[in-house]
Structure 1
Amino acid sequence: MSLKPWREVARPHKDVLEGTFKQSEFAADISQVVSGVAPPEYQDAEKFFSRTFITEGMRLLLISVARRLAGQGGDPVIQLQTAFGGGKTHTLLAVMHLAQQEVGTDRMEGIPPILDEAGIQDMPGAKVAVLDGIRLSPSQSIDHDGVTIHTLWGELAWQLLGEAGYALVADSDADGTSPGKAILQKLIEKASPCVILMDELLAFVRQLEVGKAFKAGTFDSNISFIQALTEAMKLVPDAILLASLPESELEAGGSMGQRVLNALETYFARVESVWKPVASIEAFEIVRRRLFEHAGSPSEVDGICRQFSEFYREHGNKFPQDTQSNNYFERLCQSYPIHPEVFDRLYEDWSTLDKFQRTRGVLQYMAIVIHRLWKDGNSDILIMPGSLPLYDSNVRNKSIHYLPQGWEPVLEREVDGKRSEPDSIDGNDTRFGAVQAARRAMRTIFLGSAPTVSNQNAKGLRVDQILLGSVQPGQTIQLFEDVLRRLHDRLQYLYFDDNRFWLDTKPNLRREMESRKRQIDTQTKLIPFLKDRTGHLFGKRNTHCFAGIHIFTSSVDIPDDTGAGPRLVLLSPDPLYAFSKGDAKNACAAAEEILRKRGDQPRQKQNRLIFMVPDFDALSRLKDHAKTYLAWNEILSDIDEGKLNLDLFQINQAKKYRDNSDRSLNPMIRETYKWILCPLEEIVNGKPTLTWESISISTTSSNFSSNIESTLTEEEWLISQWSPIHLKGLLDQWYFKEDQQAINALKVWQDSCNYLYFPRLLNDGVFKDALKKGLESTAYFGFASGKEGDDYLDFCFGDGAGADITLDDHCVIISSDAAQVYQKHITASSDADTDGTGATDIDTDSGDGGQVDPKPTESKRTTSDGGRLDPDPSVQLKQFYGMVDLDPVKAKIDFATIVDEVIQQFTSKHDVNVSISIEVQAESPKGFDEGLQRTIKENCTILKFKNAEFEA
């Protein structure tokens, strides 16, 4: 079967064919229909339905309307809400023509099956009232046969019942107050069966300034009217209200419009049935029926589309995967004579642009395209992306109407037209010129990339998509692949990356940057750079409260100590560690790994760690920003070194892009590392259960670290001032029992550093301050620098404001009850010593000038062979020496245990000097080979061994 051009099979409507259409006529105006001045395709019900494709949503809505008017159920109120240009007004017109029945329902194409499905044999005609929010004005009255009407309810009553209806609401209309549900119910019952259509209602109500009275009433009275009307509608079984509301903030029109939309949605939602919007596949038929009088006989269309489908399957590796299914053949038939790729690009890409109306915008654009192609005798088999006549000024102007500034020269030079580079390529190579390969490829790339080039993650079109939009059956695919390489080499605004092509308004020096950006290694360049930049955000160390800020640091390199403050740990910028409100599991797991372990060993001071984790949504942008900066910086370095020869404009542009990237990096880091992740534990069933609390910090603060500190303080995740009552509560809960009324103060402080269910104190100074404040009163606890026997040394209780508190292994905190008992004891002893009537357990007559020895005398104990069993307490032991043999297989684990259990006991003291020596001996009966000897010697040199020798 020969493949006929589309113009020999299909025929456009007369207005499209002759170019006499008016773009505004694609926008249905219900007020024009009511007044009888609309174009015939909207005014005449028979013509209207002949050009209207009844979508699934419209079908369900018309069934509901028919049943409601026939008193057989149906929804009393239906809200039509969809995107700009989504067919709301067109749907209202369909309801109006069905309800009015100015022609018989048998002459309305598509309506008889709907009435059959609704189970209605003879649907009654209904009164129709139309309230058009754009036509009506809050400040101007309307005159009907000498009757002046001011309000929406006055206009509604007049349209439904004339003077009799208006009489019901005359008083309310005159003073601008809502008539109330009862009056509206009476009005609707008298007019039923009836249909009330409200189009662009928001456009009317948003003009009512809050607190100001208009002829049409106040804002509140109009909202009350809507509420009363929706409630009244459900009380009348054969009356229905349909109202169109915008979906987007852009259509709502500012803050007042959004406020009105919220109010209207609230009241309509009480009784509404929301209309189902147009599906993408239905949009094909809507456009085709409106633009084409005859789309071709089914047999011709089927034959042509089947050859396209077979061509795609025959070359399946050259075209997108979805073209290989029978479903794509059906799409070809449904959209003929327009290729589905045209619809896909317009509906998926162009409809995302501001003000591009989804269905109406496609209709307007394709009407101009079809008119120009028809006039120029286009002989393409289908109207494809590669068919777009972008050389025509009207088509070009419409194409760039919704795009940012700068596309006009790109189209002229690099897409289509007599002065374009693709035209030159086609003209100078007959292989390309015979099928307009360069121009068809560039038209396809423009349609697929122009509206999304600034915000699309995967920019542009893949090669297989370009071939789909350019190549027709019978043409050589290789020819189009060759021309893409030629275009890539010669065009200034065409970009290529990762098998994708796209156009941009910027000259492609950026292509050089993108190429370099792809070569930046994450581990060796990106991560170190981000680590350095993030470190600069925190400023100097003494400007924040943290003992250390560990940026992308492995757990083994994060100290396990109490420190002068908590340690802030920033997780690596890896998607596996990223945080989002919907999924924080991975980030918490990564933080818990560092929290619980230091390398392979358990971590003790868990309550000294606080984490910052990257935001999942911002992380990819941060990496892209950083790579972009590094790439531009590398380009400028090559320019300085003479490796790149660029003109002054390109050099300045590169500097501008580099500086812009530099300025955006710090805010981007703040935006990415905005989540604080704080570990907490609760005691559940006697066991600590780990939970993670998260909060995002402000990303605009100039001092990053101070902002973090203040947030931690506000959330009470970090305590810089601690009341003694809280310390007393902690002591009573965890330490003071019936058999234990004193606890080592150092242990309490260290426990607060260890356990996540303890408060996280800024440093030991906070702990000491709480102790001092508590010792000013007898209500909390007592304190002593040590204990010998039953005596407390330097005992303080209620008089310790000036106490010098040193945290060591001897100092103790004493419960308030025990402190009171002990204070009474020493008071009684003191009184007894003073009056000579009492005695104490201590011999005050020691023969050495009255000095009392606080240490009781104890004889040395020896073993049976005369060896020492216990040290003599009168001798100060000043040195320690220990030696242990380690299993070489698990020496790493054993040594870590020794460090934790022995060495740290010494290093935690300020006045203890510790030295450690390691002796390694190895023997081999067969001797050590030269390679092993060389390796060992080199490693020992690097590790600074004092002696490292092999012997015979």
Structure 2
Amino acid sequence: MGRLEDLTKGARLAGVAPIGVVTVIDAEWVGSDAVNLTYEDNSGNVRREIIYRAKEQELSLEGDGRPWSFDADPELFTLVAEAKRISLAHLFDPYLATYTSDVDPLPHQIEAVYTEMLPRRPLRFLLADDPGADNPNLGRFLAARKVARTVYFGSAPSQQAANKGLDDRSIKLGCIQPGEERPAIFGDALRKLSDQASYLYRDGARYWYALQANVNRIARDRAEGHFNDADVDDEIRRRLDEALKAGRGQFAGVHPCPRSPADVPDTDEARLVVLDPTSPHDSKTEQSEALKMAQQTLLERAGGARQHRNMLVFLAADVTRLGELRQAVRNHLAWQSIRDDSESLNLDPPNARQAESKAADADETVASRIPETYIWVLNPSLPPDNPRGEIQWEKARVTASGPLAERVAHKLVHDESLIPVYGGTRLRWELDRVPLWRDNPGQAGDEKVAISVNQLWSDITQYLYLPRLVRRSVLEDAIRDGVQSTVWATDGIAYAEGHDGERYVGLRAGEMLAAIAPSGLLVHPDAANSQIEAEQAARARAMEGDAGGGVTAPVGPETEGNVDPEPTDPAGPTMPTRYYGRVTVKADRWTRTAADIAEAIVNQLAQAEDAKVSVTIEVEATADDGFDDDVRRTITENAATLKFNDSDFES
């Protein structure tokens, strides 16, 4: 409540005028109970009024300030004012939207929208830009908008049209403009619209708009709320299991989505472990969920520590593409459920056909997304110079085609991280590089010249710095190749059945091996040569001792008739000087057999001192119907070129 004494020049009062606050210009007292007040109201009008003391209860003194003060955020006020101005702009310029956007519409498009579409009420329309919002190509070419317009104008029924709507080729033809060389972008936009638009129908390759909403909205609602993450991941596991059954490649076993290390057996064969979708790999982090699960599986097994660590390789999903795969699986489950519930949903024939088509498309999408998502191969390794160091993970992308496991095998074989074929020279180099040789079985010391086959295979399956062979037979083939090599002394190895404490038993080098015993020994060529030379020298000394015995006669009484006994040949038994061999081989395997004969027979004979080896090839063929002129001419010319001694056909 104010007092008359407060009515001074410049004061601001409420209650004087009916509305608002007034500003006092002058106040003159009239006696002690009244003031002749001169004031200015909110409109700027100057008025005069006598205020009595009885009106004090209606007066209130206001603080200093401006009549129209504004203390709100000026930027926010500007934004609201601009929004209001834009909302009213069409009243002054109907074509304002075309001037303020990045679109440069053609005249016939402006006419179609403003003279044909907008005057119609109610207006049903489609936001054609939304499907292209997450795709730069669609946005750059305005592909979704052009497709929507083309389908819209092509959806009008006519007497000449035998079927509803437009086919996909006509839609692309209606969208593309001179100078554009990418018609496929409009196909992508059409598929995007077909997946998302609520009023776009599809029947086979034909598309059209209708006033009744299609089942796309039902599918979106089911995809977003009908299936939880566990349902989606279970479907991914099922589809992974199907995809991996198409082929194992070079792997002895493939293990999809193990829940724990106990699900992966600890065997001495190469195996691929496909990690669960809950353990994807993120290339931007040092320790992804995939690496954590792979490390745990590599070190552990059911009941203890894993022994055959070098036999495991891992495949993981990309964390970014996994989100796309999960969304594709949600769509697949949604369309599959709509197709199965078509009767309960009371779908009309077009919607039922669309649900069937969409379910098939979604199934294909999931099948294609799985190999696009599982692209990271995690390969454990260790450097040879630090075998007890921290495990290193080589991470590589898989880009090849074919079944999933075969893609991984092809990548690893190409990088020599998985070896299906191994040579004897490479085996010798690996034995010397680490080295893997063990002590001589016959003596204790620092001389390391042998290793058992079992021990070598155990090392290869355990240690991550050694080559990863597919299976044990690969090592055995390499041993055969190294033993039978003609350069075994420098680049190969020797093989022995065992060691009796003094010498290697069954020592073989430079010859073929029929079988390899698990307890057999690989012998360093230096140790093998030493034993071979020592045994050859012992045999030579024994032969020299036999040659010095002279002629011997039987001991005892003389034989009847005084017949002289036959002398003993001082040179010992006569050694054979000629070898001849003949074998008949099948025509479909003769090249391989010839190579085996050359290695096992011809090369061995050639190693004998002063040996002269000749090989004669005899070819004989018969045909009940005879050989025609073309065959005879070809054979005659080829035989002459190959310098055959004799070559002729007989009747």
Using structure 2 for the length normalisation, give the TM-score. 0.53
Deviations 1:453-475 (A, max 9, x none): 55459xxxxxxxxxxxxxxxxxx
CA contact (8 A) 1:301 1:333 kept: no
**For the structure 1 residues 690 and 710, does the alpha-carbon distance in structure 2 shift closer, same or farther, using more than 3 Å as the test?**
same
1:332 aligns with 2:76: yes
Partner SS state of residue 337, structure 1: helix
The correspondence of residues 147-162 of structure 1 with structure 2, limited to 5 A, is: none
**For the structure 1 residues 402 and 633, does the alpha-carbon distance in structure 2 shift closer, same or farther, using more than 3 Å as the test?**
farther
**For the structure 1 residues 685 and 614, does the alpha-carbon distance in structure 2 shift closer, same or farther, using more than 3 Å as the test?**
closer
Q: Which of 743, 762, 766 pairs up with 2:451?
A: 743
Question: Aligned equivalents of 1:603 and 1:826: distance in 2?
Answer: 45
Partner SS state of residue 394, structure 2: strand
Offset of 1:825 from its aligned partner? 2.9
The residue that corresponds to 2:311 in the other structure is: 608
Question: Aligned equivalents of 2:415 and 2:534: distance in 1?
Answer: 44
Partner SS state of residue 448, structure 2: coil
CA contact (8 A) 2:256 2:274 kept: yes
The residue that corresponds to 1:787 in the other structure is: 499
Question: Aligned equivalents of 1:664 and 1:653: distance in 2?
Answer: 16
Question: Aligned equivalents of 1:302 and 1:811: distance in 2?
Answer: 102
Offset of 1:532 from its aligned partner? 3.1
Partner SS state of residue 741, structure 1: strand
The correspondence of residues 15-34 of structure 1 with structure 2, limited to 5 A, is: none
The residue that corresponds to 1:519 in the other structure is: 226
Deviations 1:703-745 (A, max 9, x none): 4433322211111111122232332232222333633321111
Question: Aligned equivalents of 1:657 and 1:663: distance in 2?
Answer: 10
Partner SS state of residue 568, structure 1: strand
1:773 aligns with 2:481: yes
CA contact (8 A) 1:596 1:606 kept: yes
Offset of 1:684 from its aligned partner? 5.2
Question: Aligned equivalents of 1:792 and 1:818: distance in 2?
Answer: 9
Partner SS state of residue 711, structure 1: helix
Give the partner amino acid of 1:419. Answer: R
The residue that corresponds to 2:253 in the other structure is: 548
CA contact (8 A) 2:198 2:217 kept: no
The residue that corresponds to 1:6 in the other structure is: none
1:419 aligns with 2:125: no
**For the structure 1 residues 540 and 792, does the alpha-carbon distance in structure 2 shift closer, same or farther, using more than 3 Å as the test?**
farther
The correspondence of residues 388-427 of structure 1 with structure 2, limited to 5 A, is: 395=97, 419-420=121-122
**For the structure 1 residues 456 and 784, does the alpha-carbon distance in structure 2 shift closer, same or farther, using more than 3 Å as the test?**
same
Offset of 1:811 from its aligned partner? 1.1
**For the structure 1 residues 708 and 492, does the alpha-carbon distance in structure 2 shift closer, same or farther, using more than 3 Å as the test?**
closer
**For the structure 1 residues 797 and 588, does the alpha-carbon distance in structure 2 shift closer, same or farther, using more than 3 Å as the test?**
same
1:805 aligns with 2:509: no
Partner SS state of residue 677, structure 1: strand
1:824 aligns with 2:533: yes
Give the partner amino acid of 1:755. Answer: Y
Q: Which has the larger radius of gyration?
A: 2
Q: Which of 742, 747, 760 pairs up with 2:468?
A: 760
The residue that corresponds to 1:877 in the other structure is: none
The residue that corresponds to 2:276 in the other structure is: 572
The residue that corresponds to 2:426 in the other structure is: 726
**For the structure 1 residues 302 and 722, does the alpha-carbon distance in structure 2 shift closer, same or farther, using more than 3 Å as the test?**
farther
Partner SS state of residue 390, structure 2: strand
**For the structure 1 residues 547 and 685, does the alpha-carbon distance in structure 2 shift closer, same or farther, using more than 3 Å as the test?**
closer
The correspondence of residues 83-94 of structure 1 with structure 2, limited to 5 A, is: none
Question: Aligned equivalents of 2:349 and 2:81: distance in 1?
Answer: 50
Q: Which of 380, 386, 391 pairs up with 1:679?
A: 380
1:695 aligns with 2:396: yes
The correspondence of residues 526-541 of structure 1 with structure 2, limited to 5 A, is: 526-541=232-247
Partner SS state of residue 333, structure 1: helix
Question: Aligned equivalents of 1:834 and 1:506: distance in 2?
Answer: 109
**For the structure 1 residues 402 and 619, does the alpha-carbon distance in structure 2 shift closer, same or farther, using more than 3 Å as the test?**
farther
CA contact (8 A) 1:614 1:672 kept: yes
Give the partner amino acid of 2:294. Answer: A
CA contact (8 A) 2:280 2:322 kept: no
Offset of 1:302 from its aligned partner? 8.3
Partner SS state of residue 315, structure 2: strand
1:649 aligns with 2:350: yes
Deviations 1:96-138 (A, max 9, x none): xxxxxxxxxxxxxxxxxxxxxxxxxxxxxxxxxxxxxxxxxxx
**For the structure 1 residues 572 and 301, does the alpha-carbon distance in structure 2 shift closer, same or farther, using more than 3 Å as the test?**
farther
Question: Aligned equivalents of 2:375 and 2:363: distance in 1?
Answer: 19
The correspondence of residues 227-306 of structure 1 with structure 2, limited to 5 A, is: 303=70, 306=72
1:707 aligns with 2:414: no
Offset of 1:334 from its aligned partner? 3.9
Deviations 1:478-516 (A, max 9, x none): xxxxxxxxxxxxx9669xxxxxxxxx9994522322333
1:558 aligns with 2:264: yes
**For the structure 1 residues 513 and 302, does the alpha-carbon distance in structure 2 shift closer, same or farther, using more than 3 Å as the test?**
farther
Query: Where do 5+ consecutive residues of structure 2 fail to align?
Result: 1-65, 136-196, 201-209, 439-445, 548-651
Question: Aligned equivalents of 2:284 and 2:546: distance in 1?
Answer: 75
Offset of 1:834 from its aligned partner? 5.2
Give the partner amino acid of 2:513. Answer: G
Question: Aligned equivalents of 1:818 and 1:506: distance in 2?
Answer: 90
The residue that corresponds to 1:635 in the other structure is: 338
The residue that corresponds to 2:298 in the other structure is: 595
The residue that corresponds to 1:291 in the other structure is: none
**For the structure 1 residues 664 and 584, does the alpha-carbon distance in structure 2 shift closer, same or farther, using more than 3 Å as the test?**
farther
Using structure 1 for the length normalisation, give the TM-score. 0.37
CA contact (8 A) 1:724 1:770 kept: yes
**For the structure 1 residues 399 and 746, does the alpha-carbon distance in structure 2 shift closer, same or farther, using more than 3 Å as the test?**
same
Question: Aligned equivalents of 1:505 and 1:588: distance in 2?
Answer: 52
The residue that corresponds to 2:89 in the other structure is: 371
The residue that corresponds to 2:361 in the other structure is: 660
CA contact (8 A) 1:682 1:689 kept: no
Question: Aligned equivalents of 1:331 and 1:450: distance in 2?
Answer: 32
Offset of 1:627 from its aligned partner? 1.6
Query: Where do 5+ consecutive residues of structure 1 fail to align?
Result: 1-298, 307-328, 343-365, 376-391, 423-441, 458-490, 495-503, 839-952
CA contact (8 A) 1:613 1:676 kept: yes
1:586 aligns with 2:325: no
Question: Aligned equivalents of 1:332 and 1:811: distance in 2?
Answer: 88
Partner SS state of residue 383, structure 2: strand
**For the structure 1 residues 750 and 416, does the alpha-carbon distance in structure 2 shift closer, same or farther, using more than 3 Å as the test?**
farther
Give the partner amino acid of 2:264. Answer: I
1:622 aligns with 2:325: yes
Offset of 1:371 from its aligned partner? 3.4
Query: When the two structures are aligned, how many residues end up with a matched partner?
Result: 391
Offset of 1:558 from its aligned partner? 0.9
Deviations 1:808-856 (A, max 9, x none): 2x21111111111122233334445556669xxxxxxxxxxxxxxxxxx
Deviations 1:855-874 (A, max 9, x none): xxxxxxxxxxxxxxxxxxxx
Question: Aligned equivalents of 1:665 and 1:765: distance in 2?
Answer: 38
Partner SS state of residue 569, structure 1: strand
Question: Aligned equivalents of 2:219 and 2:394: distance in 1?
Answer: 41
Question: Aligned equivalents of 1:530 and 1:402: distance in 2?
Answer: 45
Question: Aligned equivalents of 1:622 and 1:522: distance in 2?
Answer: 12
Partner SS state of residue 636, structure 1: helix
Partner SS state of residue 743, structure 1: strand
The residue that corresponds to 2:638 in the other structure is: none
Partner SS state of residue 81, structure 2: coil
Partner SS state of residue 90, structure 2: helix
Offset of 1:399 from its aligned partner? 7.8
Question: Aligned equivalents of 2:198 and 2:494: distance in 1?
Answer: 82
CA contact (8 A) 1:568 1:610 kept: yes
Offset of 1:611 from its aligned partner? 1.0
CA contact (8 A) 1:535 1:551 kept: yes
CA contact (8 A) 2:494 2:509 kept: yes
